[in-house]
Amino acid sequence: MPATAKRVPKPESTGKTVGAGRQKATRTTTKPAKGSSKLPASKPKPVKKVSQAVAQQMLDLLCEKYPDADCELDFESPYQLLTAVILSAQCTDTQVNKVTRVLFKRFPTARALANGSLDEIKEIIKPTGYYNAKATNIQTCARAIVERFAGEVPSTLEELTSLPGVGRKTANVVLGTAYDVPGWTVDTHVQRLSKRLGLSANADPYKIEMDLQKHFPAQDWSKLSITLIWHGRRMCFARNPNCPECPINHLCPSSLV
């Protein structure tokens, strides 16, 4: 299935021992330090889940806020997108794009990367962090693509997740962006926002994905997931979210305004 090419640039504890000359069990008690009035931290209250209608309204407004939301990784083929997504772990898309500009010029296809020098690959991708593991991962994945799929990245979730180092999140990015196959990309932003917006009470990415699938029409999954990612990067930050300027602060159950 052909992919749509994307342009390239863009207690304290107290112990007391009883007795002398013989050991007895030490009883440990926990108490606050002298002069301290602090109580043990309480667990944050669970966010109230919103109705399907409110969920849809929130995402509609976010789509209006970010009409141009799209994958921010540069690529020209599904292989390049898949490789870039693997490299993006614990790294910004901006940094990945700088690295892949060099990497894909040197290794433009899965076959080229599969046959490349591992040391050279490591040197090129070093700025993305964890480069030893990442270099091994992308080359092992490329070899599997060559050996099992004739050098072409597969276009189904089952086949993609059978590749070394490719999970559901990575697979759904490739499917939605390169093949127009709808899917939820549950990255750290989508995980955080799903809880804040009352879309899911789960912490497990797979369970979150299933909850989000129930809320929204299948044809919108890819568009909505990238829209949530944009909102998480630009306004609904992990710390100090910009609630005053948020277009859904009147609907969000976690709003601070």
pLDDT grade, residue 47 (50/70/90)?
confident
pLDDT grade, residue 6 (50/70/90)?
low
Long-range pairs, 82-86, Cβ under 8 A, ≥24: 82/141, 82/153, 82/160, 82/166, 82/170, 82/174, 83/113, 83/138, 83/141, 83/142, 85/170, 85/173, 85/174, 86/134, 86/137, 86/138, 86/141, 86/165, 86/166, 86/170
Other C-beta atoms within 10 Å of 111: how many? 16
Span 29-53, average pLDDT: 61
29 against 139, higher pLDDT: 139
Residue 255 vs residues 45, 63, 216: alpha-carbon distances, Å: 14, 19, 22
Q: So what's the pLDDT on residue 189? A: 96
Span 54-79, average pLDDT: 97
- Tell me the pLDDT tens digit for each residue of 114-125: 999 999 999 999
Residue 242: what residue type? N
Q: So what's the pLDDT on residue 35? A: 46
Q: Where along the chain do its domains lie?
A: 52-70+183-245, 78-152
Asked if domains 52-70+183-245 and 78-152 share a fold, the reply is: no
User: In percent, how much of the chain has pLDDT > 90?
Assistant: 81
Q: So what's the pLDDT on residue 45? A: 67
- Tell me the pLDDT tens digit for each residue of 174-198: 999 999 999 999 999 999 999 999 9
Span 192-208, average pLDDT: 97
Lowest mean pLDDT among 41-55, 60-74, 210-224, 237-251: 41-55
- d(C-alpha 84, C-alpha 42), whole Å: 40
Chain position carrying tokens 């390049």: 80
- d(C-alpha 151, C-alpha 133), whole Å: 22
Span 214-230, average pLDDT: 97
Residue 16: what are its φ and ψ, rounded to 5°? -130, 120
Q: Where are the beta strands (DSSP E) in 134-249?
A: none
Q: So what's the pLDDT on residue 46? A: 75
- Tell me the pLDDT tens digit for each residue of 120-149: 999 999 999 999 999 999 999 999 999 999
Question: Is 52-70+183-245 a domain of CATH 1.20.1050.10?
Answer: no
Question: Does the structure show a pLDDT above 80 at 19?
Answer: no
Q: So what's the pLDDT on residue 97? A: 98
Q: So what's the pLDDT on residue 48? A: 87
Q: So what's the pLDDT on residue 21? A: 39
Joined together, the tokens standing for residue 87 give 């490299």
Q: Where are the beta strands (DSSP E) in the chain?
A: 13-16, 27-30
- Which residues are known catalytic residues? 169, 187
Joined together, the tokens standing for residue 181 give 């196959």
CATH of domain 78-152: 1.10.340.30
Q: What mean pLDDT value characterizes the chain?
A: 88
Q: So what's the pLDDT on residue 44? A: 57
